[in-house]
């Protein structure tokens, strides 16, 4: 049946799924992205600022690229998923501008039935491409998918994934900039790449309360069709009893909050890993904090440097408490998102 | 008083009302339309896909054209309406692209006082035109309008309306396409015009819960000023006790859901008829199903064919149950919308 | 700490603050503005109408210019404000079109500690400029800002502000138009500058209920970061117990409602003064009425004239009652906004 989605047994390692529907990203999408997440990064906000440092115009927010590429995969990959387990090896490889069209394909790179046998983990490598085939984003995610039943389950194939994306492989989404033309007053801070220390923790201060209308607008905008986000009637009789907020909505809120303290972190260059630690519902208020895990220069580039940032989203709490793990090593109940990113800053 | 609207006695058969406010449709409107309804039709989503089959760029969603043309009529036609009774003879006649400006006029083509004498049915034929006068949409709708009182009521004039739009009169909104260049993987389905059978019923599977903020955003976007949609304070003391969702919002949600199973139905070419069977309120979850009533080729065109589809919107129910009428011939209580459309598919 | 904002002692008269983040206004922003406020002014709605009277294309809604310029000031001026006390001397000085980039600076022009010593009034003159330095908007606002403590408080400096902007200084945002080409049917009314009388009161009829998702979308769109609008969790433990709606959201709603009765008031040319009389919360329904305080021709211009309008926003009431003051001279409890504007109409 159309719209019914794949079950665990339908995923064969090596298969490549070409996803519907290609999508042209427009200035309208970017305005909605602004209204949903409140970003203040100067390069993406002002054509004049972007041109001043070397872009032809403001590029698309990297996470818009991510959401557009991701959304297409849902009807084919995760419609029957119990959970979105994680991300790895995410690389933003080419600049994206308003008017660009993106499509997605996903290659099945791993499968592993659970011991209970009612579900299995599926790993896919998703690639976002332009109509000419140029790759703009690729990333791996793995999801726990329902077993349909009545068919033999495959032998496990578990892919090897890097713990962190090699800095030599990032930066493609950021053209060479003229860092000397970067206006710190307009960008909001004089703190650049050299001014951050490994180990530093940053409280992003602000909180953002999520509304049903907001996450639904976002999720439809990105053509993500997972029912748990929209169908309040069916969700009433689910275990969780209500609509779930799309995990990507939480990522973009955290990225928006991150501006307080990382004002010049103008590109998300890679997603080393990530986990939706706990679900978010309408009415929850999101906060975020970051820890600088590493810093690296990029080969051949003296214009920008990369910070490896652990970006932690938490809810209904004081972000300055930097919640992460409880004393016995479990996830702090306030934590909802634990992302590991490379972000770029001017030098 | 400005903003008070016309009463039944103000409608004279033969009068033509030129409506305020002309409206340029932009990429911003289309992004909002995407965020509100989650459409996935490839032609409207991707400039590259549209260009590949012969468009200069992605055309405007046909229902955006409808909403823009419709919205303008509200202050002049239905501000004092008790109910929007029906639609007929709706034809999309020319392609519309972002940047196009539309205005509306309505001709009064029928009036009939109710037996009670406190209201009357008014039929108008509304035409949406470009500034050069080119017609892009015309349709008939009829509404039940309040009698102001103190003036004689007119003799009834009841227009004759076609039960269905002649397929020879549709297709104008769709330029000739190259169906051989249509990529079924990108459009989301290999099922084209020839693959559907008359009598077939299609469950559109997904559900969409409506929020107050969403329908208000939509209705203001289309410059529809009917107070019942926005004024929660006044609605509290109305018989219904709360805000009503704009009927067109329900139509667009149903059209969005219709993608599951009719992925290649890329144009709404005509509205043969339609009825808002029951009101929708925030918190309701909408589902939809379709029945193929007829299929016709278009004179002189081998690129596309037309399916006549009964698109039924229902709420808070199991969509696969195909609700329509109860055993005693009444509307099933789950049904909220009963539309009769011609849609175009590639051959 | 980044994102912590300035306290009263941090404001030094004569200091000029360059605000982050410059912002390019796009058609996407205008579509959202339309969806949020439902404007129907023909010049801003239709490129064809605007071109017909002499614009190159539809200009940006004047209040969008205001919100964009205002939003940037919040992190530097009012993050620690108890209240936004008033506006004066606001002049829209140059036309703004989609694609234009604006940045803001604020000059501290006055400070006055309160007698209690825990807060102080700060006056700033904010200027919105293009990258080439051209001024498009300037206005004064004053806010009550928290005292950090531990530092001496400054001597008071209270600026002299005009009660009304001189009509000779307004009109810059409106290019010369051809009023003879103005189509009253399309604009929605035949009432022009000459048809309004000083002293006339206008009931704007419609009501608009505010939703949390709506004001949050608006406030993030304009990059306004005041926490009271977004952080429902922190607001729960505040004196007011819930999120506050951004005052500018209320202004734009009132401006949208104003169309009923002032259909041809196509530009806000100046903000003579204004006061948020009472806070607005999600669920409140806004109404508006206007009083014509004055009318003036503009030096050297026979195309447009200016009406001085007192625009009063009220909530959960009958706007036709024209609430303003109670018998004992206090603000009527229904009143939430009291604005004094110059608006332009064709002659």
**Closest alpha carbon within chain C to B223:** C38
Using DSSP bridges, classify how beta strands B23-24 and B101-113 pair: parallel, antiparallel or unpaired. Answer: antiparallel
Low-confidence ranges of chain C (pLDDT < 70): 1-3
pLDDT tens-digit profile of A319-340? 788 999 999 999 999 999 999 9
Subunits with 3+ C-beta pairs closer than 8 A to C: A, B
Q: Which of A37, A41, A42, A44 is nearest to A97 (CA)?
A: A44
Residue A83's contacts (CB-CB under 8 Å, 6 or more residues apart) are A143, A144, A276
Chain B contact present for C61, CB below 8 A? no
- At residue B3, the pLDDT reads 67
N- to C-terminal Cα separation, chain C: 54
Q: Is the Cβ pair B101, C214 closer than 8 Å?
A: no
CA distance C30 to chain B (A): 7
CA dihedral C22, C26, C28, C29 (to 10 degrees): 50
- At residue A103, the pLDDT reads 98
- Per-residue three-class SS string for C120-153: EEEEEEEEEECCCCCEEEEEEEEEEEECCCCCCC
Which positions in chain B touch A233 (Cβ < 8 Å)? 207, 209, 285, 315-317
Q: How far apart are CA A78 and CA A192, in angstroms?
A: 39
In the numeric block, which tokens belong to residue C329?
């001279």
pLDDT tens-digit profile of B39-80? 999 999 999 999 999 999 999 999 999 999 999 999 999 888
What CATH architecture is C8-346?
Answer: Roll (3.10)
Q: How far apart are CA A154 and CA A14, in angstroms?
A: 13
DSSP sequence for C218-267: HHHHTT---GGGT-HHHHHTSSS-SPPPPHHHHHHHHHHHTTTT-TT--E
Residue B335's contacts (CB-CB under 8 Å, 6 or more residues apart) are B277, B278, B312, B313, B314, B323, B324
Q: Is the Cβ pair C213, B218 closer than 8 Å?
A: no
Chain C contact present for B146, CB below 8 A? no
What CATH architecture is B8-148+169-175+191-346?
Answer: Roll (3.10)
Which of B31, B37, B188 lies nearest to residue A26, judging by beta carbons? B31
Q: What does each C-alpha distance from C97 to C24, C59, C139, C177, C306 come to in angstroms?
A: 10, 5, 20, 16, 22
**Closest alpha carbon within chain C to B243:** C209
Which positions in chain B touch C260 (Cβ < 8 Å)? 2-3
Lowest mean pLDDT among A78-82, A177-181, B197-201: A78-82
- Count CA atoms closer than 13 A to B43's CA, side-chain side: 29
Q: How far apart are CA C168 and CA A106, in angstroms?
A: 64
pLDDT tens-digit profile of B247-280? 999 999 999 999 999 999 999 999 999 999 999 9
Which positions in chain A touch B188 (Cβ < 8 Å)? 20-21, 75
Which of A27, A46, A209 lies nearest to residue C22, judging by beta carbons? A46
Q: Is the Cβ pair B40, A20 closer than 8 Å?
A: yes
Q: How far apart are CA C259 and CA C266, in angstroms?
A: 9
- At residue B28, the pLDDT reads 98
Q: Is the Cβ pair C285, B231 closer than 8 Å?
A: yes
Mutation for testing the B interface, residue in C27, C64, C220, C318 having most B CBs under 10 Å = C27
Which of A21, A220, A230 lies nearest to residue B42, judging by beta carbons? A21
Q: How far apart are CA A315 and CA C69, in angstroms?
A: 31
pLDDT tens-digit profile of B88-124? 999 999 999 999 999 999 999 999 999 999 999 999 9
Which positions in chain C touch A185 (Cβ < 8 Å)? 18-20
Sequence ranges of the domains in chain C:
8-346
Whether the predicted pLDDT of B1 surpasses 80: no
Residue B129's contacts (CB-CB under 8 Å, 6 or more residues apart) are B102, B103, B104, B105, B135, B136
Contact between C78 and C145 under an 8 Å Cβ cutoff? The reply is: yes
- At residue A82, the pLDDT reads 84
A8-147+164-172+190-346 homologous superfamily: Hotdog Thioesterase (3.10.129.10)
Contact between A229 and A216 under an 8 Å Cβ cutoff? The reply is: yes
Q: What does each C-alpha distance from B238 to B229, B245, C276, C316 come to in angstroms?
A: 12, 15, 30, 14
**Average per-residue pLDDT for chain B:** 96
Q: How far apart are CA B158 and CA B152, in angstroms?
A: 18
Q: Is the Cβ pair A205, C1 closer than 8 Å?
A: yes
> Which one-letter DSSP state was computed for residue B331?
B
Chain B contact present for C32, CB below 8 A? yes
Q: How far is CA B320 from the centre of its chain?
A: 23
Subunits with 3+ C-beta pairs closer than 8 A to A: B, C
Q: How confident is the model at residue A2 (pLDDT cuts 50, 70, 90)?
A: low
Q: How far apart are CA C29 and CA C45, in angstroms?
A: 13
Q: How far apart are CA B69 and CA B49, in angstroms?
A: 27
Which of B19, B32, B230 lies nearest to residue C31, judging by beta carbons? B32
**What's the burial of A154, exposed, middle or buried (CB within 10 Å: 0-12/13-18/19+)?**
middle
- At residue B79, the pLDDT reads 86
In the numeric block, which tokens belong to residue B317?
């129910």
Whether the predicted pLDDT of A128 surpasses 70: yes
Which of A2, A211, A232 lies nearest to residue B260, judging by beta carbons? A2
How many C-beta neighbours within 10 Å does residue B239 have? Answer: 5
**Closest alpha carbon within chain C to B24:** C46
Q: How far apart are CA C6 and CA C73, in angstroms?
A: 11
In the numeric block, which tokens belong to residue A309?
């940032």
Which positions in chain C touch B18 (Cβ < 8 Å)? 185-186
Residue C281's contacts (CB-CB under 8 Å, 6 or more residues apart) are C210, C242, C243, C244, C245
Q: Is the Cβ pair A230, B211 closer than 8 Å?
A: no
Q: Is the Cβ pair A41, C29 closer than 8 Å?
A: no
**Average per-residue pLDDT for chain A:** 96
Q: Is the Cβ pair C32, A32 closer than 8 Å?
A: yes
Q: How confident is the model at residue A1 (pLDDT cuts 50, 70, 90)?
A: low
Q: How far apart are CA C249 and CA C216, in angstroms?
A: 9
ipTM confidence? 0.96
Chain C contact present for B26, CB below 8 A? yes
pLDDT tens-digit profile of A110-119? 999 999 999 9
Q: How far apart are CA A37 and CA A31, in angstroms?
A: 10
Tell me which residues of chain B, numbers 218 to 277, contact chain A at a CB-CB cutoff of 8 Å.
256, 259-261, 263
Subunits with 3+ C-beta pairs closer than 8 A to B: A, C
Which positions in chain A touch B260 (Cβ < 8 Å)? 2-3
**Closest alpha carbon within chain C to B221:** C35
Q: Is the Cβ pair C40, B223 closer than 8 Å?
A: yes
């Amino acid at each position: 049946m159309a719209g019914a989605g794949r079950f665990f047994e339908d995923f064969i390692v090596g298969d490549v799924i070409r996803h519907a529907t290609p999508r042209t990203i427009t200035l309208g999408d970017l305005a909605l992205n602004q209204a949903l997440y409140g970003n203040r990064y100067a390069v993406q906000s002002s054509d004049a600022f972007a041109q001043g440092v070397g872009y032809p115009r403001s590029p698309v927010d990297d996470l818009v690229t991510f959401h557009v590429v991701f959304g297409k995969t849902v009807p084919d990959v995760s419609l029957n998923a119990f959970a979105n387990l994680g991300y790895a090896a995410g690389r933003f490889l080419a600049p994206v501008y308003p008017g660009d069209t993106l499509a997605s394909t996903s290659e099945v790179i791993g499968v592993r039935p659970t011991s209970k046998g009612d579900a299995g983990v599926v790993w896919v490598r998703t690639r976002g491409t332009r109509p000419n085939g140029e790759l703009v984003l690729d990333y791996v995610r793995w999801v726990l998918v329902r077993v349909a039943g009545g068919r033999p389950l495959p032998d496990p194939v578990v892919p090897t994934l890097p713990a962190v994306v090699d800095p030599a492989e990032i930066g493609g989404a950021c053209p060479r900039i003229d860092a000397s033309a970067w206006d710190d007053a307009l960008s909001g801070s004089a703190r650049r790449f050299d001014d951050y220390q490994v180990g530093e923790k940053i409280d992003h201060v602000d909180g953002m309360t999520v509304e049903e209308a907001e996450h639904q607008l976002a999720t439809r905008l990105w053509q993500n069709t997972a029912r748990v986000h929209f169908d309040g009637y069916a969700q009433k009789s689910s275990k969780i009893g209500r609509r779930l907020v799309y995990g990507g909505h939480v990522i973009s809120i955290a990225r928006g909050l991150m501006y307080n303290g990382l004002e010049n972190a103008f590109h998300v260059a890679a997603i080393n890993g990530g986990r939706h630690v706990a679900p978010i519902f309408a009415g929850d208020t999101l906060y975020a904090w970051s820890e600088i895990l590493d810093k690296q220069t990029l080969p051949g580039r003296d214009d920008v440097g990369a910070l490896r940032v652990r970006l932690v989203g938490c809810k209904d709490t004081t972000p300055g408490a930097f919640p992460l793990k409880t004393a016995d090593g479990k996830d702090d109940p306030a934590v909802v998102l634990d992302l590991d990113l490379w972000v770029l800053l001017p030098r």
